[in-house]
Structure 1
């Protein structure tokens, strides 16, 4: 009697070429964006004389714009059956804004550039995530999302490091550094045109209708809405990473070393995202998500109660591990539970809901920090994480996502 042979774990070589190309595009655009974003608050305050209120307004309006745009771009990609077109348009808009930053003379010009940049982000993200699901076999979906996330996060590591090096090279000339962001952005757009291929979707539909209709949205399954609710609770448990920077400053990390907080977090995030995605294809996603929440609880408790820079570094490292254990898997779960012809819409709704929850969580975290201090902020995060574990144990089936 012979035992059935288990399939070998997926590697990056098994992932479709289109997914690899999209991952490289994300890497290049993240390098471009982080060259600017890592320095933009300081540029606005020191060079343009903007207040911290203006900085907050710029970031808040920009991110809200991106969240709203995602819903409509995802639905539009389902309606017209073309995802690459919208992905290219989104990255193209972002690339077109890069020269505005070194040329800007007022904070309002920066705000306009950030809004257009985030519109580009909103246009591309839901169709891109849906395109990954379109071209990837269900048995390696976790690996595909994990690889794209790993490459994206690698760009988030490289961008700040390059920014630091260029600031040293150009003797703190922000505008000279910002010009370099146009190079990886242009390469990203070229790579979309030359390297990304998409299958035709929805060819069996007799006619197309707008996906943002009540009868169409009813086709999104009960399990999909559970995934959306779970993602929202995840976002409530995890507030903005800006509070990690504030914690590092409060613990005495020199300002010149602040970018290392993001570097440490993203290095671990990038390292674990792909292996976790591969593992989720074999054992299911929900158990790994629960592991991620346990890690987040540990990160919050460490940041709340472990003293000094060592405790802070351990907490940031655990935070990066949490991101690697969860973010790619949440995308894979959306793909697992959404109908083929509504994937773009499903990703748009998911991103809007989780983005709104993250905003609420960050506002709550900021209030707790102001009223009671950093310990209260991270202790509350640990409590939210523990509550989310209970929800996960009762709401999602343990094997969901295993071979979809």
Structure 2
């Protein structure tokens, strides 16, 4: 568990840094730099999708190389460099560059890091290992949001000063990773075969297809922040709402992973996507600040139920010598879908009003819940948690 705790600490520190910045970006872009919601959608969609293209390649390189740590360190270092650009930004293209470098770092590190987690935990407790990592990650996010709120209250509108302070935990996260040890690798084929879609487990193929289609309606979380401000929630109170989301996410992640180890990934994921669909419909129907105040913590339940459990499911169903590649493929499909999703959300917002992207996302979320119920049938419940050699 030492590796998992160190990786969790690195993620905690990185998320302290990221969440000091992330909830302020839509305010920085629209208020300080005069950008529109469509520009916000373009920046977030392009940054996430471009970065995600690297994840499958980073995972495959890690599998071929047989090492995880160097790529994880390089990825966290790149994300730190991206935050420097945000501090220097005087216009939205520089913000785009900063977000691209930051997300490219995430694209490099995600698959090797998650493979390290999977290989550092016994398969019987893999769900709780990913749940613990996500809980530490989101604890850092909660701390980061609190710090952003404190700084913003002390110096309203001083976004760049907050971005500068955010560099400190980002640098510490990179330093912590040098304490991670590479797990002993089992015997591998002399040549790691390329990832072929037909070679993947049938359940994994079905799961990846459902997740990709769902992602087309899952736009950037920054649209949730914009929705709250459009209903009259102040900038400071939006940050507090984002904090409640992260606190709930932290509280749910580990129990969700532990439950998935016992009853299977299927039931937890179906519940998670059903919650997402209902919450997004709620954001569309909301007409008062009190309504969105209730929806942010419910959104944290969805993330807590789904994110770590999804990674555990992919690790369960992928062969050991292609595990990082398969994890990277999952992250790549999610990221590729985020670009059109965020562009579409920005267009729907502009053309049909703030509620439109949430109606669309809610419908896709409920559809994804039903599709996962079919793709991972009851007979596969235990099999979905059985390790693949």
Match of 1:86? 71
| 1:108 to 1:75, Cα distance in 2 relative to 1, 3 A | same
Match of 1:10? none
Q: Helix, strand or coil for the counterpart of 1:39? A: helix
Match of 1:204? 187
Match 1:73 to one of 58, 64, 69: 58
Distance in 1, matches of 2:352 and 2:36, equals 24
Deviation at 1:104, TM superposition (A): 4.7
2:246–2:300 Cα contact (<8 Å) kept: yes
Match of 2:267? 287
Matched, 1:181 2:155: no
Deviation at 1:49, TM superposition (A): 6.0
Q: Helix, strand or coil for the counterpart of 2:190? A: coil
Question: Structure 1 length as normaliser, TM-score?
Answer: 0.86
Match 1:260 to one of 227, 233, 240: 240
Runs (5+) with no aligned partner, structure 2? none
Distance in 2, matches of 1:82 and 1:380, equals 41
Q: Helix, strand or coil for the counterpart of 2:67? A: coil
| 1:277 to 1:58, Cα distance in 2 relative to 1, 3 A | same
Alignment coverage as a number of residue pairs: 384
Matched, 1:387 2:370: no
Q: Which moved more, 1:139-148 or 1:38-47?
A: 38-47
Distance in 1, matches of 2:253 and 2:329, equals 23
Deviation at 1:390, TM superposition (A): 2.4
Matched, 1:344 2:329: no
1:293–1:388 Cα contact (<8 Å) kept: yes
Q: Helix, strand or coil for the counterpart of 1:240? A: coil
Match of 2:215? 235
Equivalence map 1:143-162=2 (5 Å): 143-162=128-147
Match of 1:192? 177
Equivalence map 1:367-386=2 (5 Å): 367-386=347-366
Equivalence map 1:308-323=2 (5 Å): 308-323=288-303
Match 2:277 to one of 271, 291, 297: 297
Q: CA RMSD in A?
A: 2.5
Q: Which moved more, 1:67-76 or 1:99-108?
A: 99-108
Runs (5+) with no aligned partner, structure 1? 1-15
Distance in 1, matches of 2:85 and 2:227, equals 32
Q: Helix, strand or coil for the counterpart of 2:188? A: coil
Matched, 1:365 2:345: yes
Match of 1:245? 225
Q: Helix, strand or coil for the counterpart of 1:280? A: helix
Deviation at 1:329, TM superposition (A): 0.9
Deviation at 1:271, TM superposition (A): 0.8
2:26–2:226 Cα contact (<8 Å) kept: no
Question: Structure 2 length as normaliser, TM-score?
Answer: 0.89
Q: Helix, strand or coil for the counterpart of 1:232? A: helix
Distance in 1, matches of 2:37 and 2:286, equals 29
Matched, 1:276 2:256: yes
Distance in 1, matches of 2:279 and 2:139, equals 21
2:276–2:299 Cα contact (<8 Å) kept: yes
Distance in 2, matches of 1:47 and 1:378, equals 26
Larger radius of gyration: 1
Match of 2:202? 222
Distance in 2, matches of 1:50 and 1:275, equals 40
Q: Helix, strand or coil for the counterpart of 1:256? A: helix
Q: Deviations over 1:226-273 (max 9, x none)?
A: 221132244245333223223212322123322223212221111101
Q: Deviations over 1:290-317 (max 9, x none)?
A: 1112222331333333542222222222
2:50–2:336 Cα contact (<8 Å) kept: no
2:252–2:305 Cα contact (<8 Å) kept: yes
| 1:47 to 1:370, Cα distance in 2 relative to 1, 3 A | closer
Q: Which moved more, 1:45-54 or 1:290-299?
A: 45-54
